[in-house]
């Protein structure tokens, strides 16, 4: 397998300020030097190394936006996007671990948690606890608010009963942002957000899914059997969880876009490296115009997707409307990731479908991009509604 020490295609430096370039370079170096040697091993085992997750914490990558007073880095949303992109260029499983921690769970607490909740949970989230976001169920995927998990109000506590499915980071997590319906008769207006610690009575992490891609990133079932949740662990108001869920996912979709452009960039870099070394008919395949055109079109696609993602991230950071832009970024980047990874395999030829080269893994990892955190069809609906003023 050829080493890829100096990828040919990198994000445009003009899009970043000096602090962002330094941050990006640090994460890129870490991903290449510390994560890359274990990517194949983790994929085959279906487990992400604990020592690497600890390094995420040591580097501050699990608390990028958490204020310094709570042990975080006091960084920006855009830095979180850059981290996800750089990690995903080496291993998309690493990217999604950092994504869920920062742009979904930490972000939700920063926006909606009480001062007491922030003081209790942000320090461990910055320093030691992996976080997980639990919304989906067997019967509620795209129709997320048809959830069957119930929360019964007992005064000083709630009793939660139900099952969650396809929950990212669940195997490693010590903390769960979980949604249950406290008033089923009210439909989605009964959905409520709860802060769950792993050792709460009645809470259990169940079966770990055996997946085609992102195998090192855990995806598990959660089982709640009269799980006792103190009332102080209610986040926001009863029945207002739908707002938290929707707005958090809108921002998380930008990070999935970052994961997908990182993946696509990694696939393109591998294709370029292989085109430079593989010889046929007395010259490298990169000297053939057909291969050159493929590489050029791949680069255009990656750059277009990156600009959509960066634009959505900048809008969010500036406090401007970004709903349609986030949907566009997530939709297009996930489409491009699969396309570029597939073309990279073709440029590699027969070895591309073997595990001797990394591109087959990137192709497997790309498939989920069009499915999780809102399918491609859901993104198209969001864009269309914005266009039509609905």
Instruction: Let me know if 373 is a catalytic residue.
Output: yes
How far is residue 356's CA from residue 9's CA, in Å, rounded to a whole number? 22
- State how far Cα 263 lies from the chain centre: 12
End-to-end CA distance of the chain, in Å?
51
Listed as own residue / partner, the contacts of 11-16 with beta carbons closer than 8 Å and 24 or more positions apart are: 11/85, 11/265, 11/306, 12/303, 12/306, 15/307, 15/310, 16/82
DSSP code for 140 = B
> What tokens appear for 173 in the block?
């997590």
Tokens 């194949």 correspond to 40
HEC profile of 276-332: HHCEECCEEHHHCHHHHHHHHHHHHHHHHHHHHHHHHHHHHHCCCCCHHHHHHHHHH
User: At CA 32, angle to CA 31 and CA 38, rounded to 5?
Assistant: 80
How far is residue 64's CA from residue 87's CA, in Å, rounded to a whole number? 14
Catalytic residue (one of 20, 338, 360, 373): 373
Torsion of CA 35, 37, 42, 48, to 10 degrees: -20
Distances 280 to 287, 297, 348 between C-alpha atoms, Å: 10, 22, 12
Active site residues: 373
């Amino acid at each position: 397998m050829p080493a890829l020490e100096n990828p040919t295609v990198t994000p445009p430096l003009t899009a970043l300020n000096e602090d962002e370039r330094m941050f990006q370079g640090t994460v890129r170096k870490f991903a290449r030097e510390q994560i890359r040697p274990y990517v194949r091993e983790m994929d085959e085992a279906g487990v992400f190394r604990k020592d690497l997750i600890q390094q995420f914490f040591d580097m501050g990558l699990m608390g990028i936006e958490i204020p310094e007073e709570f042990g975080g880095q006091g960084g920006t949303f855009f830095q979180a996007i850059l981290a996800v992109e750089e990690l995903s260029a080496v291993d998309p499983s690493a990217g999604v671990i950092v994504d869920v921690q920062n742009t979904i769970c930490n972000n939700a607490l920063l926006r909606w948690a009480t001062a007491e909740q922030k003081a209790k949970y942000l320090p461990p989230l910055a320093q030691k606890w992996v976080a997980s976001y639990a919304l989906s169920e067997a019967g509620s995927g795209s129709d997320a608010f048809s959830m069957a998990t119930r929360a019964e109000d007992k005064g000083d506590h709630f009793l939660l009963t139900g099952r969650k499915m396809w929950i990212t980071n669940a195997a490693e997590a010590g903390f769960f942002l979980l949604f249950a319906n406290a008033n089923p008769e009210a439909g989605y207006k009964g959905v409520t957000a709860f802060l769950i610690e792993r050792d709460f009575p009645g809470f259990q992490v169940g079966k770990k899914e055996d997946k085609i891609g992102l195998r090192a990133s855990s995806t598990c079932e959660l089982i709640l059997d009269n799980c006792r949740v103190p009332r102080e662990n209610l986040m926001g108001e009863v029945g207002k969880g739908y707002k938290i869920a929707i707005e958090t996912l809108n921002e998380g979709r930008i990070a999935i876009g970052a994961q997908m452009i990182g993946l696509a960039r990694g696939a393109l870099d591998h294709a370029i490296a292989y085109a430079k070394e593989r010889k046929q008919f007395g010259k490298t395949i990169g000297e053939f115009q057909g291969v050159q055109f493929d590489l050029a079109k791949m680069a255009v696609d990656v750059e277009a997707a990156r600009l959509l993602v960066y634009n959505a991230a900048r809008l969010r950071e500036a406090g401007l409307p970004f709903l349609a832009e986030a949907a566009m970024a997530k939709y297009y980047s996930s489409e491009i990731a699969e396309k570029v990874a597939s073309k990279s395999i073709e440029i590699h030829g027969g070895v591309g479908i073997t595990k001797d080269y990394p591109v087959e893994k990137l192709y497997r990892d790309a498939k989920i991009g069009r499915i999780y955190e809102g399918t491609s069809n859901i993104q198209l609906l969001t864009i269309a509604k914005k266009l039509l003023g609905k």
